[in-house]
Structure 1
Amino acid sequence: MKKDIYMALGFTALLIISAVPLSFFSLHLINFIFSKLGLLAL
């Protein structure tokens, strides 16, 4: 039973660790796209 909890925690930690760089990347990408759109709008 404890092993399952540790596996779930480890899996969650892995998801968080892999999700953080992806979210930063997507934020930069969205920022880049909006700045391009802003330049086009001007």
Structure 2
Amino acid sequence: MIIQSLVEMLVRKIEIGEINPVTGLAFRVEDIKVAEYKNEVIKRL
């Protein structure tokens, strides 16, 4: 089950260029590890 608020949060992080603390770079779709969430984010971008 996909949590829509989580998808929206991920989309916002990518759109505003928030820094990923793990990589030190802006969040990217490739940073999303769960395929279902990655696919939902791709649909919204």
Q: Which has the larger radius of gyration?
A: 1
Q: TM-score, normalised by structure 1?
A: 0.36
Q: Which has the higher helix share?
A: 1
Report 1 or 2 for greater relative contact order, CA contacts < 8 Å, sequence distance ≥ 6: 2
Q: TM-score, normalised by structure 2?
A: 0.33
